[in-house]
């Protein structure tokens, strides 16, 4: 009787770990770094980040910063930035980059114009901010290779590592296609299953 109960307990524990806990490989803390993608797990407890996909644009032992890629607003760029002449006829949306400092604007783009001050994130993807830089980028880069964000996601030292360790985030390698996805509002559904099993 005791042996039978022990077998049932072992089966239950194995079932729990197999189906309730994503593989450790997608949550290894050493995989964190600039350019990596954070995919909110199904366990995400913070409603501000539920079903979000975040690009890490800065990561160090002092903290981290990222931009949420999949929350376009209904606000057109031309209305949000009327002072940027190149946006005068553009109807593409501004994105919510995160809950921190919603008045702060950042933008991601490809094919780096040399005169623009920008931070290299990975591959041919760059980050910058400010209306003057934005004007220069818009004039030099195709419209489908620019994303404009207001606000950002921020973590203090050790905070992101704790959230990953607690199972709130899965980690994916850099992916240009997700940043400039033609249907950004649905990329979480596209990558959540992959992020549960991927080895970064």
Measured between alpha carbons, how far is 163 from 141 in angstroms, rounded to an integer?
Answer: 36
Average pLDDT, the chain: 83
| pLDDT tens digits, 55-70 | 999 999 999 999 999 9
pLDDT value at position 14?
35
> Which pLDDT score, from 0 to 100, does residue 125 have?
96
Q: Which of 11-20, 84-93, 177-186 has the lowest mean pLDDT?
A: 11-20
Greater confidence, 199 or 152? 152
| pLDDT value at residue 26 | 54
Give the span between the Cα atoms of 193 and 190, in whole angstroms.
7
- The pLDDT tens digits of the residues spanning 80-135 come to 888 777 777 778 899 999 999 998 999 999 977 777 889 999 999 999 998 788 88
Domain boundaries, the chain: 23-197
Q: What is the CATH number of domain 23-197?
A: 3.40.1740.10
* pLDDT greater than 90 at residue 139: no
pLDDT at 80: 86
Q: Report the distance separating Cα 168 and Cα 172, nearest Å.
A: 14
Does residue 200 register a pLDDT over 50? no
* Local confidence band at 30 (pLDDT 50, 70, 90 cut-offs): confident
pTM, whole model, 2 decimals? 0.82
- What span, in angstroms and rounded, lies between the C-alpha atoms of 91 and 100? 25
Q: How confident is the model at residue 198 (pLDDT cuts 50, 70, 90)?
A: low
How many CB atoms neighbour CB 115 within 10 A?
Answer: 9
- How far, in Å, CA of 38 to CA of 153, rounded? 11
d(CA 73, CA 92): 9
Q: pLDDT (tens digit, 9 = 90+) per residue, 149-173?
A: 999 999 999 999 999 999 999 999 9
| pLDDT grade for 47, boundaries at 50, 70 and 90 | very high
Both structure tokens of 151: 């606000």
Query: pLDDT band for position 3 (50/70/90)?
Result: very low
Eight-state DSSP code of residue 34: T
């Amino acid at each position: 009787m005791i042996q039978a109960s022990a077998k049932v307990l072992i089966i239950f524990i194995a079932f729990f770990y197999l189906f309730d806990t994503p593989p450790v490989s997608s949550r290894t803390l050493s995989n964190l770094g600039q350019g990596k993608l954070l995919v909110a797990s199904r366990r995400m407890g913070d409603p501000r980040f539920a079903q979000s996909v975040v690009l890490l644009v800065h990561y160090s032992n002092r903290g981290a910063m990222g931009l949420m890629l999949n929350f376009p607003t209904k606000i057109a760029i031309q209305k949000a930035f009327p002072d940027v002449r190149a946006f005068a006829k553009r109807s593409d949306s501004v994105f919510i980059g995160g809950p921190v400092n919603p008045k702060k604007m950042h933008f991601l783009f490809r094919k780096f114009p040399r005169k623009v001050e920008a931070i290299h994130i990975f591959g041919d993807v760059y980050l910058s901010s400010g209306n003057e830089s934005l004007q220069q980028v818009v004039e030099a880069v195709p419209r489908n290779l620019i994303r404009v964000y207001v606000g950002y996601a921020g973590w203090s030292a050790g905070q992101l590592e704790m959230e990953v360790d607690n199972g709130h985030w899965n980690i994916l390698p850099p992916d240009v296609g997700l940043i400039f996805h033609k249907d950004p509002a649905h990329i979480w559904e596209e990558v959540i299953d992959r992020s549960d099993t991927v080895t970064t």
